[in-house]
Structure 1
Amino acid sequence: MTNTGRVKGWDPGGGRGGATSRWAARLFVLVWLVYLAYPLSRVFSGGERISVVVQLSGAALFVAVYLWVVLFERPYWRGTDPRRVINHRVAVGTLSAVALSLSLLYGGVWAGLFVYASVAAGISLPSREARPVIAMLTVAVAVCCLASGMSWTGVGQFVLLVGGIGFGQVLWSRLFSTVRELEAAREEIARLAVAEERLRFARDLHDLLGHSLSLITVKSEVARKVADRDPRRATAEMREVEEIARRALGEVREAVSGYRRPALEAEIAGAAQMLEASGISCSVDLPEGDLPEAVRETFCWVIREAVTNVIRHSGARRCRISVGCEGEVCFVEVRDDGRGVVEGFAAGSGLVGLSERLRARGGTLLASNLPPGGFRVRAELPWRDSVPRAADTLRR
């Protein structure tokens, strides 16, 4: 999946597509600094030199820290190292202290600094910390404005500006944080979908090639054994090997394209042919009625894997394939009279893959030894609920 749904030119997560938005944000911040022209103009309008130096120094420190926070530090919603959060707390504390000092010493003309401090708190601090800080800044600006003799109307305006813009910035930060989390979740879902598809294809390829290559091996061994005494039969066996190889190649191509739909009758016939060629007699029990398509497709994989294991591992002389229904449950069972489970066989990836495939469709797989000897593989699927369940798929 190449497209993760990012909006061009807007990337709160900080990716390459967000360069334009970051520069726009910087320009936006710089434009609002124009409001500092008013208190600065009052500084130069009169006053003692020491007062001018103190106010200019305080304003320079304030602007430097503010620009560092909003332009060059990572906003909290983009993910911030805990050590940087400490730096942000110090920066917001510095901004608040400068705003409070200048406002108390030189009047309400500097009360606008509380607005910038509120914005910095909303951007750089976690929401649970930013809210009380903004509330304290709101109280502080009200106290400073009243101490400077400002009218109640002016006090109310500054309180609304500091509180409204600050809490609005907190909400905006939460929005960006949520968008970032949704993008991360989307990317994780895409990664899991790719992993699930790879697992499905690996299971299909294992089942396809395991069956076909086993049959090719059996046919080739028969041709080699009878080549000297019965060349005609050996030639016929090798023709079948060629046909099986061509069919396997077509099945692999279909599996790659995602359109493979095995036919149950053809699968059973191929399994019987494979067993007979291996010297194992085969009997088949089929249901009288038809089975759901999803059940038939899944049973094909069960028969393919189970019969392949019978030929490879069991040493059996007889095998029985049964397909049918019991109430609302459809089943397929492959049993043999061989030696049963040998060491290391139960952990094979084939039966594990079958179990996962059946569990995804609400079914079960049973594999066990039979007394006095032999092995049984039985798969069960519900007749009606035979479609993949999303919860089981995601759980895997």
Structure 2
Amino acid sequence: MKARLQNVKTQGRWWRHLSPHRPWIYLVYLVLPFAPWFYGVPAGETLAVTIVATALFLCLFVFAMIRRDWTSLPAALAVQLLGFWLLGVNPGAAVYLIFAVAMMARIRDRQWQRIGLAAWLAALVAGCLATGVPWLYSLAYLVFGAIIAAATAWSARSEEREAVREEMEADAAARAVEAERQRIARDLHDLLGHTLSVVTLKADLANRLFDADPGRAKAELAAIQQIGRDALAEVREAVTGLRVRPLAEVAGEIAGRLRDAGLEVSLDLPADANLSDMAAGAFGMVVREGATNVLRHAGARRVAISLHTDAAGLVLTLADDGRGGARFAGRGLDGLRQRLAEAGMTLHTARGLDGRGSALRAVWPAGTGDTAS
């Protein structure tokens, strides 16, 4: 979490670093120790001391702004000591005292921050007494330092809140992308699993009929061609999420494919069923997965697909008289159960037709607004 938070803080456009919430903007006040140079550049030892002190301060300041932990405390005290040492020869060095309190105020840990501010106050009093700073100047350092400490602590908290907000937005975007990827993968599994099962059966049939009944074999190949076109359109719709096909359309198409595979199919869907897109899409997934299991595993002769309302809610049932295809469904059925659960639905398996085979029973809870007669 901490590493991700740090990554968020370092991202963004370059001008974000000029925000008042960024510590580097404070360096503009570093011009104060050089203000006397406008009247004349010092020579010899004073010049060298000023340059070395500035370089040392920059190292300590950058270190403290990056670390922002207890190690900032000795760094800030060193900057404060540097300010008192230079104060006798350069009044502008008083800015180092203010930089020191800003370094203390940006410590993340509240307890260490309070310790640091108390240490800065004690060092300020001791330094002013030791160097003989007039009481009026000392009071000015104290007041200005308190203002800077409060402003710096507030800006640090604002920076952290902004970083957390950006991280949450990035996480939300990543979750949305992952959810869409999972949706596409599951839709493709549902669509292609069923389609390829039908194509395989028809291709096997066409191969067996190629010599005995060329006309029938040709018809099966034409059906495979049409199934491929339909599957391509469905894949495009699944990837783009353009629309949800009505349940009657999906169930009718799958019932036709089951009949083409030699099964007797009973389809009982109310003509006046009032289904939302979510319910229609969920029930369509159940029909596809159930039909795929029947074709792959059940060895059934009859299939019944029905939609009705009972005390539990709106119920879609797909049952067969085979050898229990749903029991051999594997991950496809587990994934379908998870997807329905995300929509507030439940999926159950039961005995199939005439006590043989298996049945899928998907329940859309009552009170959702979807109805069927």
1:14 and 2:5 are equivalent in the alignment: no
Letter in 1 for 2:343: R
1:137 and 2:128 are equivalent in the alignment: no
* CA offsets 1:45-88 (integer angstroms, 9 cap, x no match): 9xxxxxx98x986x766533431143x44835xxx5xxx84653
Distance, in Å, in 1 between the alignment partners of 2:166 and 2:24 is 26
Aligned to 2:65: 75
Displacement, 1:304? Answer: 1.0
Distance, in Å, in 2 between the alignment partners of 1:282 and 1:240 is 18
Aligned to 1:306: 290
Distance, in Å, in 2 between the alignment partners of 1:243 and 1:299 is 24
Aligned to 2:76: 92
Aligned to 2:55: 64
Distance, in Å, in 2 between the alignment partners of 1:93 and 1:385 is 66
**What SS does structure 1 have at the residue aligned with 2:13?**
helix
Displacement, 1:160? Answer: 1.3
What pairs up with 1:150-189 in 2 under 5 angstroms? Answer: 150-151=134-135, 153-189=136-172
Tell me the number of residue pairs that the alignment of Structure 1 and Structure 2 aligns: 357
Aligned to 2:309: 325
What pairs up with 1:353-364 in 2 under 5 angstroms? Answer: 353-364=335-346
Distance, in Å, in 2 between the alignment partners of 1:304 and 1:266 is 12
Q: TM-score, normalised by structure 1?
A: 0.76
Distance 1:175 1:23, change over 3 A: closer
Displacement, 1:351? Answer: 1.7
Distance 1:169 1:347, change over 3 A: same
Structure 1 window deviating more from structure 2 (306-315 vs 246-255): it is 246-255
Distance 1:111 1:267, change over 3 A: closer
What pairs up with 1:200-279 in 2 under 5 angstroms? Answer: 200-279=183-262
Structure 1 window deviating more from structure 2 (281-290 vs 92-101): it is 92-101
Q: Is the CA contact (8 Å cut-off) linking 1:251 and 1:260 kept in structure 2?
A: no
Distance 1:20 1:246, change over 3 A: closer
Displacement, 1:367? Answer: 2.8
Distance, in Å, in 1 between the alignment partners of 2:311 and 2:212 is 53
Percentage of pairs with the same residue: 29
Aligned to 1:382: 365
Distance, in Å, in 1 between the alignment partners of 2:330 and 2:273 is 33
Aligned to 1:31: 28
**What SS does structure 1 have at the residue aligned with 2:10?**
coil
Q: Is the CA contact (8 Å cut-off) linking 1:207 and 1:304 kept in structure 2?
A: yes
Distance 1:125 1:364, change over 3 A: closer
Letter in 2 for 1:194: V
Distance, in Å, in 1 between the alignment partners of 2:243 and 2:8 is 43
Distance, in Å, in 2 between the alignment partners of 1:12 and 1:282 is 57
* CA offsets 1:358-384 (integer angstroms, 9 cap, x no match): 122111112355696422211111254
* CA offsets 1:266-297 (integer angstroms, 9 cap, x no match): 22222222222223222223236423223122
Q: TM-score, normalised by structure 2?
A: 0.80
Aligned to 1:366: 348
Displacement, 1:302? Answer: 0.8
Distance, in Å, in 2 between the alignment partners of 1:171 and 1:95 is 22
Distance 1:67 1:207, change over 3 A: same
Distance 1:296 1:157, change over 3 A: same
RMSD: 3.9
Distance, in Å, in 1 between the alignment partners of 2:134 and 2:25 is 29
Aligned to 1:8: none
